Amino acid sequence: MDSENKKDQTIDLSRRKFFGAASAVAGAAVAVSLPSTVLAKASDLVDTKQVLDELPIKISSSYKRFHQKDTAFCQAFSPRFPEGMIFPLLGKTSGEMGHRIVDKALINAGWHANDLLSEGSQLGIPDTIAYKLDNEVSKDKQMFSTPEEASLYMKKAARFLGADLVGVTPYDERWTYASFFNPFTNEDIPADLPFTPKSVIVLAFEMDYKAMTTAPSGISGGAVGLGYSKMAVTGASLRKFINDIGYKAFATGNDIALSVPYGVASGLGEGARNGILVTSEYGPRVRLGKVFTEMELVYDKPVSFGVRHFCENCKLCADACPGNAISQEKLPSFKVENECNNKGVEKWAIDAKKCLITWGKTKSDCSTCITSCPYNKPDFWHHRLVDKLNKFMPESVHSVMREMDKVFGYGNTFDKKAVNQFWKS
Amino acid sequence: MGVFNGIEIMFFFLGVLSTLGVLGILMVIKKFNAKWPVIALLSMGVSLILFSFAWSVSSILEKEHQAANMGLLFFGLPGIIFMGMAWKKLSQKPIVKMETQ
């Protein structure tokens, strides 16, 4: 009996082992097959980005293209808006944290590559070195079998050359300035492009999170400047790449055309209350460049991940703005503040003149609307989780989430401790 | 940190702690013959404590210390309260009806 029991036990144990081994093999097989099947479906369910067929912004039927010289920057150089001439104040130093010599030196350092390659492009001046319009095109043409293949190569090249996010959208004449302008010489420039582009490759560049927590300061100004420098270097490099594979192209920064509508159209993000593109990856903490080309590419579609809806209740940027330049209205509308706004587009219009005057008062390019935005977070899993939950939450919860953002210590502006933290991080 | 970055190490330990948490709940169920209210309280407690750990470590890694502290307070404290409630339910002496002759 004892020996029989022992035998049974042995058989039982070996059966357990067999089932254990079998389940391990089955588990491994499931784990291997998960990435290609179940996980793909699960990620589709988790992905809260809604792809849209049309631009999620209402455009008036009477819309007319915006003139570059109507921007607050250009007006500041003319008798139209002399109090906007705050630019000499931006480099002023003091003993205050964030405005010391060492802090303000970051501004010039950040802007340096932009100043060498595309000085004035930030004000909209076209045809600078990086953003040259007429460019030599190679006679050796690289042929692509499909527009999909061409897009794949363009996006990979853009990311390799330094872009953090890339989107592609068709050329839309509505966003090209009706006329160009050089504020330094006070001269109008005809809005002539060297060719009619077919596609626009929109490039987004992340600005450093820790640097932006110091806003308004020389450090955040340095981060902004570095964003512009990256725009010039990567934009010019991508343009050169496209020219060398036999296609016409030119790169732009703030010149030639409006950036935010192209950012929205190419699916990089949504337009927000603060007038900035909010991306799902970096929130509003991005700078935008564009490369116009004659290439036939496959186009990305606009997306919605709840920003516009969240902005209706949040208003943290409007509360944080030291110049009261951001609208407190609940819903976006066609209302404009002054001639600096692009009329005929439904949005929360910002008062660009008040904004620029505040730059002078804070002796920096401010950026408090970027820093205070709840979407301005480092790319960590728990922020992405909150962003995804946010899409499904009702309005009342949005207000709670806005308050929680403050309680958790995010979005502080005029934070002198952040300056120390930046330098020591 | 070499090959792995902070967030990867955090998720590794989160996996270890999650396994220990599940094993702990299973042991409690077996040892105390726990019923569903206790199991629910324990599960919520363990989940919240693990979430607060993950939140706080992530916040420290992104150098947002206030967010780390608030994460412990907002998610960890309710987790401890749920665990306490479960413990209280487990430690309650069963009421035995005395049979009268």
Q: Give every CB contact of residue A45 below 8 A, 6+ residues apart in sequence.
A: none
Asked if the model's pLDDT at residue B42 lies above 90, the reply is yes
Q: How far apart are the first and last CA of chain A?
A: 73
Higher pLDDT, B39 or A44: B39
Residue A382 to residue B59, Cβ atoms within 8 A: yes
8 A C-beta contact, residue A275 and residue A342:
no
**Distance separating alpha carbons of residues A125 and A71, to the nearest angstrom:** 12
Chain A hits for B64, CB-CB cut-off 8 Å, are: 408-410
pLDDT digit string (tens) for A112-137? 999 999 999 999 999 999 999 999 99
Label residue A296 by pLDDT band (50, 70, 90). very high
**Who wins on pLDDT, A211 or A23?**
A211
Contact A424/B at CB under 8 A: no
Q: What is the pLDDT of residues A361-392, one digit of tens each?
A: 999 999 999 999 999 998 889 998 998 888 78
Q: Is the distance from CB of A174 to CB of A281 less than 8 angstroms? A: no
Q: Provide the shortest C-alpha distance from residue A389 to chain B (in Å).
A: 15
Looking at the complex, report in whole angstroms how far the Cα of residue B99 sits from the nearest Cα belonging to chain A: 44
The DSSP secondary structure of B24-54, one letter per residue, reads: HHHHHHHHHT--HHHHHHHHHHHHHHHHHHH
* This prediction's pTM: 0.86
pLDDT digits (tens, 9 = 90+) for A220-253: 999 999 999 999 999 999 999 999 999 999 999 9
Predicted pLDDT at A47: 67
Each residue's pLDDT tens digit, A330-342: 999 999 999 999 9
> What pLDDT, on the 0 to 100 scale, is given for residue A40?
53
User: What pLDDT, on a 0 to 100 scale, did the predictor assign at position B17?
Assistant: 96
- Within a 10 A sphere around the Cβ of A213, how many other Cβ atoms? 26
**Residue A210 and residue B63: Cβ atoms within 8 Å?**
yes
Give the ipTM.
Answer: 0.84
Tell how far CA B37 is from the center of its chain.
15
**Residues belonging to chain B with any Cβ–Cβ distance to chain A shorter than 8 Å:** 7, 54-55, 58-59, 61-67, 70-71
Lowest mean pLDDT among A174-178, A377-381, B23-27: A377-381
Give A-chain residues touching B70 at CB under 8 angstroms.
407-409
pLDDT higher for A411 or B101? A411
Which positions in chain A touch B62 (Cβ < 8 Å)? Answer: 209, 378, 380
- Statement: residue A17 has pLDDT above 70: no
Residue A42 has pLDDT above 60, yes or no: no
For residue A208, which of A195, A191, A225 has the smallest C-alpha distance? A225
Q: In this complex, is the C-beta atom of A195 within 8 Å of any C-beta atom belonging to chain B?
A: no
Rounded CA gap, A180 and A137, in Å? Answer: 25
Nearest to A380 among B62, B66, B70 (CB): B62
Write down the pLDDT at residue A41.
Answer: 53
Model pLDDT, residue B93? 58
Q: Which residues of B touch A417 (CB under 8 A)?
A: none
When mean pLDDT is compared across A5-9, A109-113, A186-190, the lowest value belongs to: A5-9
